[in-house]
Amino acid sequence: MALLAPYLLADGRLPVGAHTYSAGLEPAVAAGLTRAEIPALLRARLHTGVVTEAAAAVLALRAALRDPVDYAPVQEALAARTPTAPLREASAALGRGVHRLARRLAPGHPAVTALTRLHPRPLRPVTLGALGAVLGVGEEALAHGVVYDELQTIASAALKLLPGDPLDSVAWIIAAEADAARTVAEALAVRTPTELPARTPPLTEQWALEHDRRERRLFLA
Amino acid sequence: MTGPPAPAAGPAEPDDPTVVAVERDASGRHLARELSPGAFLAPRPLLPCADRLRIALVGTRAGLLAGDDLRLHVSVGPGARLELVEPSGLVAYDHRGGRSAWRARVDIAAGGRLDWDGKPFVVAHGARVDRTMEVTLAPGARMLWRDTLVLGRSGERGGSVRARTRAVYDGRELLVEDLDLTDPDLRELPGILGPNRIIGSVTALGARPPGPPHPYRTDLAGPGAQVRLLDTEAPAMEAELTALHEHWRTENENENE
Amino acid sequence: MPDNASAQQSGQPAQGPNEHYHQPLNQPRALRIGVAGPVGTGKSSILATLCRELADELSMAVVTNDIYTDEDARFLRSAGVLPTERIRAVETGACPHTAIRDDVSANLDAVEDLEEAYGPLDLVLIESGGDNLTATFSPALADAQLFSIDVAGGGDVARKGGPGITGADLLVINKTDLAPHVEVDVAAMVADAERARDGLPVLALSKHDPESIARLADWVRAVLVRHRSGTHVPTDPGPMAPHSHSHDGS
């Protein structure tokens, strides 16, 4: 199971609602981001929000493997580091899809039942930690999955928002490798929820607020 | 939490924190339990107000230079109200390879309120400063914080600054931010600051201000809200944030009546 | 994995309660009817008609899927047929097909939220944001689906077939009042459709024909009776026609 699971986690076709998410690209494009700037946007994400998300997923995975399972500390730490309400809502909506999948795969697993006790709903990294525990995915694979997913989400959304040669998007992801590796290492080094990084991306937050007020949207956020 | 003991009279030592501790006694009267000048800022009481203390933080030394460590301890007792004003902003100058720190610790007891109207914090070319704001709020405590970071003086790209904020309400983290603007190449990436050099915020902690929605208002996960504006130039943003700060402050007051 | 295998699995009634985050396990959930069909065939108008006909007797809600989030939802809200807060739009990431078939997460979330806010509901209508003939609902989302084509699309649409036309629980041939203007023989079109559908019902509908509207509402009532008695089994109209998505990895 654990051989295939990391690929499942990182696969955009995993039916957990991720196709409704552009990881901030649609709001960025509305604010004027061009196709040429996408590699820079990927780099920005890897140095800010993705560090927090990957580290939170790893913390949640560790929490999922303890007895009893208590996600509250990591969920609260993550919520305090996600001050922008639409971004918390998007994370909770995406987490809901992951939670639904985890429930289907292992409804009685303590890592899954503990998710249901969280109110408000678990944020996506928390549910990914739980799913990782259910599937037997290790910390490093999980962190890589979160980081890769972010890059692929932006690159795929770009095909709809800033159309161009789809092969470009593969090159963007490969070019982001060094920054991605650094992000994974940083995420793995986090020991406690209090240490959870909180690298604020002010423009991304602003764009998310603008997107939330917009009527004609393709993506959730 | 109480501040350190009042220092003996005499000039502040380089490491002395500025201490402002206010309380409200049983009769409802406000009093300053401690007002100690630090190495950089001296607290000066302003004209008394019936329902609060107003204190100005007056700069006593030219801004931040390499090796400087500005510390500030503010505590507001149960039910007390404090208004902190800054007559002028602060400039972190060229540190010529060194670094400096600006560290504030704020403790607000149950029912206490702090309104901190901060002036621009300018990070000049060559500066390298760590700014931290640690806020601890007891249940029912509130803080309103106006804050502006400016990267560079006119025409400059600006120095390096890492501004961290950690606010804890009733023992739980309410807002944790790490504006890591140390590397100009990174911070100018799209989605971080892009071309913007000024980051202005009004942050309410402990309560969500009512009132008409501002397009850039976000409600925090816990009791609190923030409006943050970014710009390449200061003036328009300053006016907007001043109005918003005033609005949130007045709403707070009306609610208190 | 073959589509049918996953569909059968996800269509198991036993999975229902699990899907519902806050809903008590013993509470039957609302009947979910999908409304699919090509653009311009009157899906939104069918939804509005059903709300008008049934909202007095049933507790209803609507979910819309669109290329751009909320255009259909805004049309329905402005039609005033249902309280506006009972009409939700979901973002589909520019893939309305995916949102009703390959990955129904966002739609399930919307349905669950409506049940939580206004439940117990009797009926949730889900409108697809279809842009061709091939989009059909996964049984994991819709218990039953109607597929709408119209006479203006040409008399041979029904004969050409496609999974929605041949396999939907109900095929609606809409706008029959326009038939004389587009030189289509409605009776022949219905007969073609019936042949293509192997006995599944076909309904010729016009908003100017009250009797046809009554038959549409009756069909919904009949499905609801079967749903409540546990005898309704969601079926999958079948896999989509080959359809290329360069963005499947999104």
Q: Give the C-alpha separation, A9 to A5, whole Å.
A: 6
Find out whether A201 and A48 touch, Cβ atoms under 8 Å: yes
Q: Give the C-alpha separation, A188 to A46, whole Å.
A: 14
What share of chain B has pLDDT > 70, as a percent? Answer: 92
What pLDDT sits at residue C141? 96
Of A36-45, B8-17, B219-228, C94-103, the range with the lowest mean pLDDT is: B8-17
DSSP state at residue C53: H
Q: Compute CA distances A15 → A143, A166, B95, B210, whole Å.
A: 20, 22, 53, 39
Q: B216: nearest CA in chain A? A: A209
Question: Cβ of A113 under 8 Å from any chain C Cβ?
Answer: no
What pLDDT sits at residue B82? 97
pLDDT digits (tens, 9 = 90+) for A11-66: 989 999 999 999 999 999 999 999 999 999 999 999 999 999 999 999 999 999 99
pLDDT at B48 over 80: no
Using an 8 Å CB-CB cutoff, list chain A residues near B194.
Answer: 203
pLDDT digits (tens, 9 = 90+) for C12-58: 333 333 344 444 444 579 999 999 999 889 999 999 999 999 999 99
* Contacting residues for B102 by C-beta, under 8 A, at least 6 apart: B64, B70, B72, B90, B92, B121, B129, B130, B131, B132
What pLDDT sits at residue C12? 37
Q: Span A155-182, mean pLDDT?
A: 96
Of A64-78, A167-181, B36-50, C199-213, the range with the lowest mean pLDDT is: B36-50
What pLDDT sits at residue B11? 58
Q: Span A77-85, mean pLDDT?
A: 98
What pLDDT sits at residue B255? 59
Using an 8 Å CB-CB cutoff, list chain C residues near A97.
Answer: 103, 105-106, 109
Q: Which of residues 158-177 of A touch C (CB under 8 A)?
A: 159-160, 166
What pLDDT sits at residue A113? 97
Find out whether B140 and B110 touch, Cβ atoms under 8 Å: yes
In A106-176, where does DSSP find H-type helix?
110-116, 124-135, 139-161, 166-175
What pLDDT sits at residue C18? 38
Of C94, C105, C248, the CB nearest to A218: C94
Mean pLDDT per 10-residue section of chain C, whose length is 250 residues: 38 37 58 94 94 96 86 87 94 88 95 95 92 83 96 83 91 96 93 91 96 98 95 80 42
CATH for A22-193+201-207, options being 1.10.4190, 2.40.50, 1.25.40, 3.30.450: 1.10.4190
pLDDT digits (tens, 9 = 90+) for B190-213: 999 999 999 999 999 999 998 778
What pLDDT sits at residue B3? 43
What pLDDT sits at residue B94? 95
Residue type, B213: P
Domains, chain C, ranges and CATH?
30-229 (3.40.50.300)
Residue type, A61: L
What pLDDT sits at residue B14? 66
Residue in the structure block whose two tokens are 């039942």? A113
Mean pLDDT estimate for chain B: 91
Cβ <8 Å between B178 and A196: no
Q: Which of residues 193-252 of B touch A (CB under 8 A)?
A: 193-194, 196, 199, 215-222, 226, 228, 230
What pTM does this model have? 0.89
Domain positions in chain B are 18-256
Residue in the structure block whose two tokens are 């030394």? B61
A contact chains, 3+ CB pairs < 8 A: B, C
Q: B192: nearest CA in chain A? A: A201
Find out whether C237 and C145 touch, Cβ atoms under 8 Å: yes
Using an 8 Å CB-CB cutoff, list chain A residues near C91.
Answer: 20, 217-220
Cβ <8 Å between C247 and A153: no
Can you tell me the ipTM of this complex?
Answer: 0.96
What pLDDT sits at residue A209? 97
pLDDT at B2 over 90: no
What pLDDT sits at residue C11? 35
What pLDDT sits at residue A53? 98
Q: Give the C-alpha separation, B190 to A42, whole Å.
A: 9
pLDDT digits (tens, 9 = 90+) for B166-179: 999 999 999 999 99
Helix axes A166-175, A38-47, angle to 10 degrees: 40
Q: Give the C-alpha separation, C126 to C140, whole Å.
A: 13
**Interface test mutation site (partner A, options C68, C102, C250, max chain A beta carbons within 10 A):** C250
What pLDDT sits at residue A143? 98
* Contacting residues for B172 by C-beta, under 8 A, at least 6 apart: A76, A80, B222
Find out whether B108 and B80 touch, Cβ atoms under 8 Å: no
What pLDDT sits at residue C249? 40
Pull the structure tokens for residue A10.
Answer: 């990182």
pLDDT digits (tens, 9 = 90+) for A191-208: 999 999 999 999 999 999
